[in-house]
Structure 1
Amino acid sequence: MKKVMMFLLAITLISACSHTPNTLQEKKELKAHLGKGHVSKETSVEKKIVGIPEYPKAAQRKIVKGGPDDSISNFRPDPIQNENKATYKLDLTMDSEEKFTVTAEVKVENISKDEWNEIVFYFIPNAFTEENKPESLKNAAEVSISSIELDGEKADYLLDHDTLYLPLEESFKPGEERSVTVRYTLTVPEFGFRLSNNFNNIYLAEWYPMLATYHSGWRKEDYIVSGESYFTDYSDFKVKYSLPEEYMVLSTADNDPANPSASGELESQNVKEFYMALTKNMEVVQQTAGDVEVRVAGVASTESLKQILDKSVNVLNYFSAKLSPYPQKQIDIITDEGGMEYPGIVTIGPFNEGHKDEGRGSQYFALIHEIAHQWFYGTVNNDPYYDVFIDEGLTNFATYLFLIGHDKKTPEETFAFAEQHAARTTALAHLPLHEYLNGGFMGANYEIPPLKLWELTGGEKEAFDYLSKYVELYSYQEVDTAEWIRFTKSYFKLNDDQFFQEWISYE
């Protein structure tokens, strides 16, 4: 894994040293190198000559030291303003060999003040091909782009690992909208990482070209499997699917079909990404929590799934009351994958029969944690490459608070694992993801933040008052470390930075 991480870091450094084509002549020369429909694996020699050019990169905001700007009653949020917007229309067809043919049409709006010479996407399936996949994965994805069009005309492009780069002959001016259409085929790897085919249950995570965000520069880092290294803004989705036979469809959308289907159309608005699962051998049980339909899918016994469903309803109701109402009309819980959050759907591992293990490493803890992410990731956004402690730390804090407030655990037993982990962690929070190569990721970002916030709040009610105010002020906006510190200083009337500098990097 270390070799893979170092390779990704090397790619980043190499790309940063490349030259940006700014003049018309330079763009013509680049086009001559690229050719139409350039794909790195097909023209590796040209790839070494050209590479993906350097493009404008966003800078991180500096943390302002000192006392709070104002009391929380007069506090004015200053979230990060994303400066582009994507609208997705996705059409996927699966054949009898479980190979997908996808047409992804992305409407891109430039709402910045800058003229762009490029459009940058994540194309994460390419990170799992034979030439790119991590050594830890045995099986590879098969990915082939057949064409890319820009406003209906065939377009040049470069594909390097998970970066899809479109150079533009004419600059993309502020206020304009462009249409990018990517046609490709995809075979999902068996027992992959999130994008996976497990016993003919197919999990489509990060399966389409995802527009990188823009804030006075593009915000795109290399994909790393040890964390959430991709970052997207809120978008609207229309998804059409056609399958060779009926599958149970579980997705981000609120309008999933109630029964197995071979075709359909799904829609979702104002969500960060769109996840789909196509299942053949899972039972689905469901129940309503207020106005929300809660569905649990898995291969366990019906009785076991119903127990998980009851727990899921309890968690959803609790957080909806303590934080803010759950924002969607449906939530799905898949009990066959590792723990991961997506809008409107979460995955966890199989529960132990009887669910007796409810410790920190249990699937019960994972269930609470992943549902809490619907607020800290789903409702309030942050960049997990640089600010991962914000969503993971606040999510874990809410999870611990649930154990104290709902399950009536004592703070001592609830935070015991976090205390042990923190004692052996020397790394700080707010480091770029690749700087956790030597360890400290979990302690710095998952366990120390809840301990420090418990130190500030000291009670379940006080803690949820703080978290609910945070959600209220920043719903559907992006918070970075500088803004989170600014808010927390004002909320708790902290006059200096000593509390934060003990565990957060100010670099």
Structure 2
Amino acid sequence: MTESNMKLNRRSFCFAAKLIVVVIALTVALSVLAACATDKMKQAEKDGDNYKIVMSYDPETHTLSATQLTEVTNRTNNAFTKIMFHIYANAYREGAEPIVPNTYRAAAYPCGESYGNIAFDYVKVDDVACAFRTEGDNGDLLAVPLSQEMFPGDKVTVELTYKVTLANIKHRLGYTSNAVNCGNFFPIVCHIDNDNFSETPYYAVGDPFVSDCANFDVTVCAPSKFVVAASAQLTSVTSADGFDTWHYTGNARRDFAIVMSDKYKKLTSQVGDKQLHYYYFADAEPEATLAVQRGMFEYMNKHVGEYPYEQYSVCETDFCYGGMEYPCLAMVTSGQQAYKTAVIHETAHQWFYGVVGNDQIANPWMDEGLCEFLTCLYMDEAGLSPLENGIKAATKNYVTYVDVLNRYYDHTDTTFRPINAYKNDGEYVVMTYVKGCLLFDTLYRTMGKDKFLRTLVDYYATCAFTLATPQQMTECFVRRGGKEMATIFDNYASGKDIIGKVTD
């Protein structure tokens, strides 16, 4: 063997040894992250309230009849004299503030104005009947008084029996000739903010929901002609007298939604031990849609972190917007031009909103902007549309909107704001989705692809099953990309940004 060959072999051996070390380190790191995620999920299950709902759907009256047991634990430092629930179903009642912006009213009500509500038969606390009252300007809050103070660590069980009347509306909660959407249908305990119940109303703009992880056991009874999709694992289906009873269980998730239809067909795909379901009634290319759903799911699993739940369902339905995310389930609007793009966006939400939560009222850009950018990033990798095209379109959209406003106003507010601070839905979309997307593109181009994706892994692992704050998100990016990342976040949030650049 020549000296040069010996040197070459030594180099090859050293390279192989280093490669083995890197592989081992990555394997250990991934194992640690997986173990950390499992521990966080177990903690979220332990800390979550428990909901047990038994409900039935009557297609003749378009009503949901339910009995609900909610086990609530006081995890604050305050003593409570009442438990507060959001009853979003009352936002659909006649006389309430409109839940649909004017620009979408025709799409939401194709058959004319329609109304719904929620009515309670009785309320019990620890099996004792109690008085209750609806509160809030729109009657979308339920106050359940307690007979004695509920101190930190105390636990009570609230029993609610109620009927939800559905509006004929293409919205989160409502029915059409094609499907029944049951999003935000049940009374949900108000999120705790600063040791008190957060009693925010149902805003027409954006997604007006902030919820902590909870555990669900839900039974749905419907005529046998209906196929039911839900936010949890199906454990059993039984049939009797023309009705099917579907039983679902799912822990450590922020919400629970159902979509059902007597027209549904279903496709299923397996990714590891996770099941992907696609429910459709009019899609002419269902296999292609399922492939897109699977592709984005695998992309997020690979580049962000493992999906922690057993299944994920995409449901074609009637909806006045592009789509709506719920844990383990997405509603996607039938017939829209950007149908598959909506599937990609809503799938990204399963990681950012579903697992890593945020205050969608105060900081909607955190999940919407990130999911919009991840949609562009995946479409580029999948060969569906170059990233450059998506960013050019977003830049043009944003700049055009701001230029038009500048013609009519002395000062155009381009800051990130809570959803109730936007003048209309158009401003919300541009400042949250479009500008939010451009923020993450700026971070991506400044850091580079590898650092950006590794930061998302850090963010996902650090904030899983919690409500992340802008500060926590910024800190994750600063750790990988340096202090310049904080400047980028600040400039976009405060409206000092110049798209594509960073200013002091």
TM-score normalised over the length of structure 2: 0.77
- The equivalent of 1:72 in structure 2 is none
Greater helix proportion: 2
- Following superposition, the deviation at residue 497 of structure 1 comes to 5.0
Equivalent residues of 2:458, 2:476 under 8 A apart: no
Task: Report the structure number with the largest CA radius of gyration.
Answer: 2
Equivalent residues of 2:237, 2:244 under 8 A apart: no
Change (3 A) 1:474 1:294: same
Which segment is superposed worse, 91-100 or 143-152? 91-100
Change (3 A) 1:258 1:117: closer
What does 1:228-247 correspond to in 2, within 5 Å?
228-247=207-226
Change (3 A) 1:461 1:364: farther
Q: Partners of 1:124 and 1:206 in 2: how far apart?
A: 6
Q: Partners of 2:143 and 2:297 in 1: how far apart?
A: 40
- The equivalent of 2:21 in structure 1 is none
Instruction: Answer yes or no: is 1:503 the counterpart of 2:492.
Output: yes
- Following superposition, the deviation at residue 488 of structure 1 comes to 2.6
- The equivalent of 1:191 in structure 2 is 169
Equivalent residues of 1:249, 1:257 under 8 A apart: no
Structure 1 unaligned residues grouped into runs of 5+ = 1-78
Change (3 A) 1:321 1:351: farther
- Following superposition, the deviation at residue 463 of structure 1 comes to 2.6
Equivalent residues of 1:84, 1:214 under 8 A apart: no
Equivalent residues of 2:170, 2:318 under 8 A apart: no
Q: Partners of 2:389 and 2:58 in 1: how far apart?
A: 51
- The equivalent of 1:431 in structure 2 is 417
- The equivalent of 2:126 in structure 1 is 151
Equivalent residues of 1:243, 1:263 under 8 A apart: yes
Change (3 A) 1:142 1:162: closer
What does 1:364-383 correspond to in 2, within 5 Å?
364-383=340-359
- Alpha-carbon RMSD across the aligned residues, in angstroms, is 2.6
Q: Partners of 1:296 and 1:119 in 2: how far apart?
A: 37
1:479 is matched with which residue: 468, 471, 478?
A: 468
Number of residues paired by the alignment? 418
Instruction: Report the identity percentage.
Output: 21
User: Could you say what secondary structure the match of 1:287 adopts?
Assistant: strand
Instruction: Answer yes or no: is 1:104 the counterpart of 2:79.
Output: no
What does 1:454-493 correspond to in 2, within 5 Å?
454-458=441-445, 459-493=448-482
2:318 is matched with which residue: 313, 337, 347?
A: 337
1:131 is matched with which residue: 71, 95, 98?
A: 95
1:89 is matched with which residue: 52, 57, 70?
A: 52
What does 1:59-98 correspond to in 2, within 5 Å?
85-95=48-58, 97=60, 98=62
Q: Partners of 2:53 and 2:245 in 1: how far apart?
A: 13
- CA deviations 1:216-260 (Å, max 9, x no partner) are 222231101321112111010011122243421100112266899
What does 1:2-401 correspond to in 2, within 5 Å?
85-95=48-58, 97=60, 98-132=62-96, 134=98, 136=105, 138-160=113-135, 161-199=139-177, 201-215=179-193, 216-255=195-234, 262-300=244-282, 304-338=285-319, 339-351=323-335, 362-401=338-377
Q: Partners of 1:406 and 1:308 in 2: how far apart?
A: 14
- Following superposition, the deviation at residue 495 of structure 1 comes to 5.8
- Following superposition, the deviation at residue 148 of structure 1 comes to 1.0
Equivalent residues of 1:271, 1:378 under 8 A apart: yes
Q: Partners of 2:97 and 2:115 in 1: how far apart?
A: 7
Equivalent residues of 2:455, 2:476 under 8 A apart: no
Equivalent residues of 2:171, 2:181 under 8 A apart: no
Q: Partners of 1:189 and 1:332 in 2: how far apart?
A: 24
- Following superposition, the deviation at residue 422 of structure 1 comes to 2.4
User: Could you say what secondary structure the match of 1:422 adopts?
Assistant: helix
Q: Partners of 1:334 and 1:351 in 2: how far apart?
A: 13
- CA deviations 1:42-66 (Å, max 9, x no partner) are xxxxxxxxxxxxxxxxxxxxxxxxx
Q: Partners of 1:496 and 1:343 in 2: how far apart?
A: 30
Equivalent residues of 1:87, 1:237 under 8 A apart: yes
Q: Partners of 1:351 and 1:147 in 2: how far apart?
A: 41
- Following superposition, the deviation at residue 465 of structure 1 comes to 1.9
- CA deviations 1:100-132 (Å, max 9, x no partner) are 211111100001111112211100001111222
- Following superposition, the deviation at residue 327 of structure 1 comes to 1.8
- Following superposition, the deviation at residue 316 of structure 1 comes to 1.1
Equivalent residues of 1:427, 1:444 under 8 A apart: no
Equivalent residues of 1:248, 1:259 under 8 A apart: no
* Over 3 Å off, 4+ runs: 81-85, 256-261, 408-411, 425-430, 459-462, 495-498
User: Could you say what secondary structure the match of 1:434 adopts?
Assistant: helix
Change (3 A) 1:419 1:259: farther
- Following superposition, the deviation at residue 345 of structure 1 comes to 1.0
- Following superposition, the deviation at residue 505 of structure 1 comes to 4.0
Which letter does structure 2 place at the counterpart of 1:93? S
Which letter does structure 2 place at the counterpart of 1:392? E
Which letter does structure 2 place at the counterpart of 1:236? N
Change (3 A) 1:109 1:276: same
- CA deviations 1:266-312 (Å, max 9, x no partner) are 111111111111210122122222322222112225x5111211221
Higher RCO (Cα < 8 Å, 6 or more apart)? 1
Q: Partners of 2:389 and 2:68 in 1: how far apart?
A: 49
